[in-house]
Amino acid sequence: MTTTSSQFDRPTRKSVWQRLAQVPWTWRIMLSYLSVMLFLPLAAMFLKASTEKPADFWRIATSPIALATYDVTFTTSLVAALLNGVFGTLIAWVLVRYDFPLKRIIDASVDLPFALPTSVAGLTLATIYSQNGWVGSLVAPFGIKVSFTRLGVGVAMMFISLPFVVRTVQPVLTEMEKDIEEAAWCLGASQWQTFLRVVLPPLFPSILTGVALGFSRAVGEYGSTVIIASNTPFKDLIAPVLIFQRLEQYDYAGATVIGVVLLLISLVMLLAINLLQAWGKRYD
């Protein structure tokens, strides 16, 4: 590292280069890596978007086909994430509170969507939810088609966002004192009351965080959804697939504008998740 004497005669008149020389090498590697790999591409996209006139930007961003893809992407992701909010919490609860055979394997398997490449997930989901697949054939008699419809997109999004809720709720549930629940029972609260009034409130921030994480993952998902959907505009075409199609047509401006919209929404989600996590920590 650099000498300590230079720390005393700081700050004003040093040249930029002298200051750079004081930065530890770990910082230099980190910052240059981030600059090349992360900031440069981000800058390229924002600058490309800014070469569009605001009116053009707005026109592309709110064209009917783009609006339809936002609707499909965000509504479906939200429904999928909320469903996982319910079932993910239930799974976390079962894994923390009860003992049953194969529990360890089931616990480990929850991470499968993180480990399985998304194209494999899309392939196998499309197969078993198709009209003659294992699950698809069960619901087909009721006139429900899953694969190659918006419902299929939802199933793929449920698949990839499931671990987020389970893995954010699980540690909180593990840390939670059982005494309080027992006290509630002793004081005559029913199971349902205990759950609603005692268990749920401290869990709520982590459930919301999990839902937000899952939602933001589902919004950006491409691999599994592109395979299970028919990618018909105004039906089940999602925003990431639209970006891909625009790129294939060499419509860089169109791809960039929709990409920027998606990116800005991810950034807002990231901010929301950080705020949620801060909120969850107030109990610590």
CB of 104 to another protein, least distance (A): 8
Query: Does 42 help bind another protein (rule: CB under 8 A)?
Result: yes
Contact pick of 14, 48, 145, 167 for another protein (by CB under 8 A): 48
DSSP assignment of 180-213 equals: HHHHHHHTT--HHHHIIIIIHHHHHHHHHHHHHH
In the complex, minimum distance from the CB of residue 34 to another protein, in angstroms, rounded to a whole number:
7
Among 66, 155, 169, 199, binds another protein (CB under 8 A): 155
Vertex 165: Cα angle to 160 and 167 (nearest 5): 100
Determine how many CB atoms are found less than 10 A away from the CB of residue 278.
Answer: 10
Build a one-symbol-per-residue string for 83-112: x at contacts with another protein by CB under 8 A, - elsewhere: ----x--xx-xxxxxxxx---x-x-xxxxx
Minimum gap (Å) between residue 26 Cβ and another protein: 4
Residue partners of 253: CB distance under 8 A and separation at least 6: 48, 52, 56, 60
CA-CA distance, 74 to 216, in Å (whole number)? Answer: 9
**Which of 18, 234, 274, 275 touches another protein (CB under 8 A)?**
274
Provide the sign of the torsion angle of the four alpha carbons 78, 153, 126, 241, taken in this order: negative
Stretch of 6-14, 63-71, 170-178, 201-209 contacting another protein, by CB under 8 A: 170-178
Based on the number of CB atoms within 10 Å of its own CB, is 122 exposed (0-12), middle (13-18) or buried (19 or more)?
Answer: buried
| 72, 121, 172, 229: which one binds another protein (CB under 8 A) | 121
Of 52-60, 64-72, 199-207, 240-248: span binding another protein (CB under 8 A): 240-248
Q: From the list 6, 7, 131, 174, which residue makes contact with another protein (rule: CB under 8 A)? A: 174
Position 283 contacts another protein (CB under 8 A): no
From the CB of 99, what's the least distance to another protein, in Å?
A: 6
Q: Does 269 bind another protein (CB under 8 A)?
A: yes
Residue 254, interface with another protein (CB under 8 A)? Answer: no
Our CB check for another protein shows the closer of 87 and 279 to be 87
Rounded to the nearest 10 degrees, the angle between the axes of helix 200-220 and helix 150-175 is: 140
Q: Does position 196 bind another protein by CB under 8 A?
A: no
Interface residue with another protein among 26, 179, 187, 284 (CB under 8 A) is 26
Nearest residue to 116 (alpha-carbon basis) of 213, 206, 270, 221: 221
Which position among 216, 231, 237, 276 is part of the footprint of another protein (CB under 8 A)?
216
* Residue 24 binds another protein (CB under 8 A): yes
Determine the angle formed by the axes of helices 252-280 and 64-97, rounding to 10 degrees: 30
> Which residues have CB under 8 Å from 160's CB, separation 6+?
113, 118, 121, 217, 218, 221, 224
Q: In terms of CB distance, is 100 or 142 closer to another protein?
A: 100
